Amino acid sequence: MSDEYEIHAIRYGHFDRNAAANFIGGDEHDGPMPLDYFVWAIVGAERTFLLDTGFDAATGRKRNRALLRPVDQGLQAIGIDPQSITDVIISHMHFDHAGNSDMFGHARYHVQDSEMAFCTGRCMCHPFLRHAFDVEDVTALVRRVFDGRVNFHDGDSEIAPGLSVHRVGGHTGGLQVTRVKTRRGWVVLGSDAAHFYANFEQARPFPIVQNVVEMLEGYDRMRALASSPAHIIPGHDPLVLRRYPASQPGLDGIVRLDAEPLMRDASI
């Protein structure tokens, strides 16, 4: 059985902001630099995995983020029944990556030990660290632990042949990236290890951070895990939708990351 996977980046949300908000120290060429919000479907011959679960409409309204397409509708658009997903990988527990708690009722969740400790422990006493977490998402994960539906990982772990997670930290205490074997080589889904290509290409950290050293070293770790820098996928960059082909002809906002990029920079 093949251990290669398809990867679909599914955009579900959007937030307008300027570049100065996306780098520690700001940006002297400040201008529009919005965030897109994604989940990632990792489709194998026998099983479909989901990386992150997004946020719902109520959370979008509360956080002033636009919900463009609910996550379940994005999955259904490429023929995936959310109830068929057996495994959900949570990169980290921020509200835009760990919501929709009732959507995947049959799945096991994969999270780092250090992320659970981070989002349930003393670090959450600090408003700066806890503001991007939603208490309902965190308590839902605790309930899954007691229901026997959480697999904890400590550093590097193989989830399935050709699919593994790797703790890098930085953005949160236990953020993990996901390494996927595809037809074009090893792709690293960075999630918020790098929000934008510019974060890791220019070594300019994102300002929501728990450990700056780990964030910078995470850029190097992603390079080591990926077949090339062009195989690293940032978590929120609208350029992803311009650099990769649509998963289906005419389908907006969903692209194939196991396919060769259309070009390195679609703006050129």
- pLDDT of res. 264: 60
> 108-112 and 87-89 as β-strands: parallel, antiparallel, unpaired?
parallel
Q: Average pLDDT of 131-149?
A: 97
Contacts of 172 (CB under 8 A, 6+ apart): 92, 93, 94, 115, 118, 119, 192, 210
From start to end of the chain, where are the E strands?
A: 6-15, 35-43, 48-51, 66-67, 87-89, 108-112, 150-153, 156-160, 163-167, 176-182, 185-191, 232-234, 254-256
In a domain, 261, yes or no: no
In a domain, 138, yes or no: yes
Domain of residue 115 covers: 6-256
- Reported as a pLDDT band with limits 50, 70 and 90, residue 267 is very low
Is-contact 18 31, C-beta < 8 A?
Answer: yes
- Reported as a pLDDT band with limits 50, 70 and 90, residue 2 is confident
* CATH (domain of 73): 3.60.15.10
Name the residue among 238, 235, 236, 173 with its Cα closest to residue 209: 173
Query: DSSP letters along 12-35, please?
Result: EEEE--BGGGGSTT--TT--B--E
Per DSSP, the three-state class of 54 is: coil
In a domain, 132, yes or no: yes
In a domain, 267, yes or no: no
Number of domains within the chain: 1
The span from the CA of 46 to the CA of 60, in Å, is 33
- In this predicted structure, the answer to whether residue 9 has a pLDDT above a threshold of 50 is yes
Q: What are phi and psi of 32, to 5 degrees?
A: -60, 130
* pLDDT tens per residue across span 177-229: 999 999 999 999 999 999 999 999 999 999 999 999 999 999 999 999 999 99
How wide is the angle at C-alpha 101 spanned by C-alphas 96 and 106, nearest 5°? Answer: 130
- pLDDT of res. 266: 41
- pLDDT of res. 268: 33
- What angle, rounded to 10 degrees, do the helices at 135-146 and 113-120 form? 130
In a domain, 1, yes or no: no
* pLDDT tens per residue across span 219-236: 999 999 999 999 999 999
Whole-number percent of the chain with pLDDT over 90: 94
Sign of the Cα torsion 257, 258, 259, 263 reads positive
In a domain, 268, yes or no: no
- In this predicted structure, the answer to whether residue 172 has a pLDDT above a threshold of 80 is yes
Name the residue among 165, 232, 225 with its Cα closest to residue 194: 232
Range scoring the smallest mean pLDDT among 44-53, 134-143, 256-265: 256-265
- In this predicted structure, the answer to whether residue 127 has a pLDDT above a threshold of 50 is yes
In a domain, 263, yes or no: no
How wide is the angle at C-alpha 31 spanned by C-alphas 27 and 35, nearest 5°? Answer: 90
- In this predicted structure, the answer to whether residue 28 has a pLDDT above a threshold of 90 is no
Per DSSP, the three-state class of 257 is: coil
* pLDDT tens per residue across span 64-100: 999 999 999 999 999 999 999 999 999 999 999 999 9
The chain-wide mean pLDDT, for the chain, equals: 95
- pLDDT of res. 128: 95
Q: Which two tokens stand for residue 115?
A: 């992320």
- In this predicted structure, the answer to whether residue 1 has a pLDDT above a threshold of 60 is no
Is-contact 13 55, C-beta < 8 A?
Answer: yes
Give the 3-state secondary structure percentages of the chain, helix then strand then coil, rounded to 5. 30, 25, 45
Kindly report the number of other CB atoms within 10 A of residue 122's CB atom: 9
Give the containing element (helix H, strand E) for 240: helix 239-243
